[in-house]
């Protein structure tokens, strides 16, 4: 009996030891996967729970001492509910706070993009690339009217598939052929902007927002800046035409504004010489051809023209809508997509060689039927954000279509949290030296780090459909496995593969000269596009422009500011300035 008991004890101990030593693991991310699944279920399939998933019988009840006594702090459900509510809002965007958006696709429709760039998105006619688009006003807060007189943001996040360039930039594997990389187009609904000197941007935006004392929109601040910075005039004139109050978001165009570089890879045959010059001959000594990659670089600007046709509100219509339906643009976009009336835009590129850019003219021989006015050829800067590119000089060429087909299921998750950054570029596209673009390369992702946290790129709407492997770790709101157990430094023991360069760009642009403090100057060239714009408005559009400016500038209290702005309009057209002065009862 004793022996039997002893054997039973030993067997039990062995079983326990075996159980303890078993290699037990579980999937840490099973919970997040389950929440994604639950998000698509109807409420009737689910029970109400706490944030920890514990079933809870009544969302409205609270624990207290009797029916008339104080609350109990042990009421975890109530405390959790209140604490989460206090933290629901993230900081709104410092600009472009009010917006709407949707998902869809970009479809390459021609070989034009392929002609200019190796970027994968342009390589295959007919291929569709998933996109998320967001439209917005610039100066308004999140709860402001989206019909306000303001430029509109026009941003697109393209999730481009792996193509030839990606095969060169990664260790090739058939499993990688469906990787999707992010590319952001961060545009506006105007081809130009108010500034070309990046240091002016924060101060300009301050004048478009609220007075620091009264907390009211201040027309003196607004016009004080614009009248003191005449390079803004072309954008001002577009803004105070009816283009400044578009009919929602579907009936307006979009422009990149900035100039970009497109890279096209070209294989050239050469012999090896000391000066590394190119020769299209066989090497006599090696009896073989030596290949090296060279790049053709093109300067370009992008645009997207609405297929719905341009449609605008008059000032009276926009003002009325701001009171009756301040979310008109948001509603119009959502309801159109919901009804299957999918909005679309045709995407174009304007391309110019660096050689042609040296003699570029910011205003071609403009002809106005309204005024029979000609603007002379003037030296221009292809990087100037306050100047458009004339289609007479640089024709538009179609490259594709943008189509929106899918409304967000959750606005906050998919539109409020979407983060655009012009530095998100794929091989074949580079930034130019435009100083405003260069500043945005830093400012946009930095703003997202402040608003959404340093790990904003792991939020689903911002996350690439491709492996991310680097040494960035930790920080607020880690949404994934934080790259697991891999080293967080360039380890010699567990090395990351270093991909091949997508192309050999050995001959970078060479800059010479010392550091300078630069601020652009205003010249007569800055008034050529405003002259052209005014001369091509219809009589009715000119009348509306006069009414719009009088109704806004006329409310400024400073006569000095008014006269300074009128003097700028006089450089565009004397009759224009006189009509504005008459409308505001000002003697010039």
Return the ∠ at Cα 101 (arms to 97 and 106), rounded to 5°. 130
- Name which of 363, 367, 369 is nearest 387 in CA terms: 363
Cβ contacts of 291 within 8 Å, gap of 6 or more:
267, 268, 269, 270
- Residues that are catalytic: 96, 188
What does the chain come to in residues? 588
Contact of 264 with 431, CB cutoff 8 Å = no
User: 338: which 2 tokens?
Assistant: 């919901």
What is the distance between the alpha carbons of residues 380 and 526, in angstroms, rounded to a whole number? 10
Note the helical H segments in 194-327: 201-208, 219-228, 233-240, 315-324
What is the distance between the alpha carbons of residues 454 and 466, in angstroms, rounded to a whole number? 19
Helices 528-535 and 559-572 pack at an angle, to 10 degrees, of: 80
Strands 254-255 and 290-306 come out as: antiparallel
Contact of 120 with 426, CB cutoff 8 Å = yes
Helix or strand holding residue 546 (H, E) = helix 539-553
Dihedral sign of CA atoms 136, 142, 145, 151 in order: negative
Distances (CA, A) of 229 to 222, 233, 236: 11, 8, 11
Q: How far is CA 132 from its chain centroid?
A: 10
What is the distance between the alpha carbons of residues 562 and 542, in angstroms, rounded to a whole number? 19
What is the distance between the alpha carbons of residues 84 and 117, in angstroms, rounded to a whole number? 48
Burial of 302 (0-12, 13-18, 19+ CB in 10 A): buried
Cβ contacts of 66 within 8 Å, gap of 6 or more:
none
Cβ contacts of 350 within 8 Å, gap of 6 or more:
300, 301, 302, 303, 389, 391, 394, 395, 396, 397
Contact of 375 with 434, CB cutoff 8 Å = no
- Name which of 88, 65, 89 is nearest 75 in CA terms: 65
Helices 539-553 and 574-583 pack at an angle, to 10 degrees, of: 50
**Other residues' Cβ atoms within 10 Å of the Cβ of residue 73:** 9
Burial of 319 (0-12, 13-18, 19+ CB in 10 A): middle
Contact of 154 with 189, CB cutoff 8 Å = yes
What is the distance between the alpha carbons of residues 89 and 156, in angstroms, rounded to a whole number? 24
């Amino acid at each position: 009996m004793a022996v039997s008991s002893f054997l039973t004890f030993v067997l039990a101990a062995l079983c326990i030891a075996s159980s303890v030593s078993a290699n037990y693991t579980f999937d840490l991310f099973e919970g997040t996967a389950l929440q994604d699944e639950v998000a698509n279920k109807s409420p009737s399939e689910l029970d109400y729970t706490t944030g920890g998933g514990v079933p809870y019988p009544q969302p409205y009840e609270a624990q207290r001492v009797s029916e008339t006594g104080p609350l109990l702090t042990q009421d975890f459900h109530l405390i959790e509910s209140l604490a989460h509510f206090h933290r629901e809002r993230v900081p709104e965007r410092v600009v472009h706070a009010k917006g709407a958006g949707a998902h869809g696709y970009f479809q390459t429709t021609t070989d034009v993009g392929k002609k200019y760039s190796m970027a994968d998105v342009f390589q295959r006619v007919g291929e569709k690339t998933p996109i998320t688009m967001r439209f917005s006003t610039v100066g308004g807060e999140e709860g402001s009217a989206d019909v306000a007189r303001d430029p509109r943001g026009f941003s697109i996040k393209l999730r481009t598939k792996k193509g030839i360039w990606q095969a060169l930039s990664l260790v090739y594997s058939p499993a990688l052929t469906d990787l999707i990389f992010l590319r952001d187009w961060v545009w506006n609904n105007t081809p130009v902007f108010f500034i070309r000197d990046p240091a002016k941007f924060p101060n300009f935006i301050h004048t478009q927002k609220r007075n620091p004392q009264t907390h009211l929109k201040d027309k003196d601040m607004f016009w004080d800046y614009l009248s003191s910075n005449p390079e803004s005039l072309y954008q001002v004139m577009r803004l105070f035409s009816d283009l400044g109050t578009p009919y929602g978001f579907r009936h307006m165009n979009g422009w990149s504004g900035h100039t970009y570089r497109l890279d096209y890879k070209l294989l050239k045959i050469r012999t090896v010489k000391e000066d590394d010059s190119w020769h299209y001959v066989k090497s006599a000594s090696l009896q073989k051809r030596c290949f090296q990659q060279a790049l053709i670089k093109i300067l370009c600007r992008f645009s997207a023209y609405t297929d719905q046709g341009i449609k605008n509100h008059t000032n009276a219509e926009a003002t009325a809508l701001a009171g009756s339906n301040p979310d008109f643009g948001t509603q119009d976009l959502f309801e159109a997509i919901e009804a299957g009336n999918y909005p679309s835009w045709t995407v174009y590129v304007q391309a110019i060689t660096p050689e042609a850019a040296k003699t570029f003219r910011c205003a071609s021989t403009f002809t106005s039927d309204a005024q029979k006015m000609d603007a002379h050829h003037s030296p221009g800067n292809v990087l100037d954000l306050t100047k458009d590119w004339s289609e007479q000089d640089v024709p538009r060429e179609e490259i594709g279509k943008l189509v929106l087909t899918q409304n967000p299921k959750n606005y906050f998750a998919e539109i409020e949290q979407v983060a655009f950054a012009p530095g998100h570029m794929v091989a074949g596209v580079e930034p130019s030296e435009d100083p405003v673009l260069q500043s945005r390369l830093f400012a946009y992702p930095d703003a997202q780090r402040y608003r959404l946290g340093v790990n904003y790129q792991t939020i689903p709407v911002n996350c690439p459909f491709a492996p991310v492997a680097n040494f960035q770790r930790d920080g607020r709101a880690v949404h994934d496995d934080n790259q697991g157990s891999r080293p967080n430094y360039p380890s010699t023991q567990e090395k990351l593969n270093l991909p091949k360069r997508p192309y050999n760009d050995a001959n970078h642009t060479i800059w010479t000269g010392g550091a300078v403090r630069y601020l652009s100057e205003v010249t007569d060239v800055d008034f050529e596009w405003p002259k052209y714009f005014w001369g091509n408005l219809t009589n009715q559009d000119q009348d509306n422009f006069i009414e719009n400016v009088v109704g806004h500038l006329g409310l400024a209290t400073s006569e000095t500011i008014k006269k300074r702005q009128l003097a700028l309009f006089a450089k565009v057209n004397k009759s224009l300035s006189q009509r504005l002065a008459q409308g505001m009862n000002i003697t010039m």
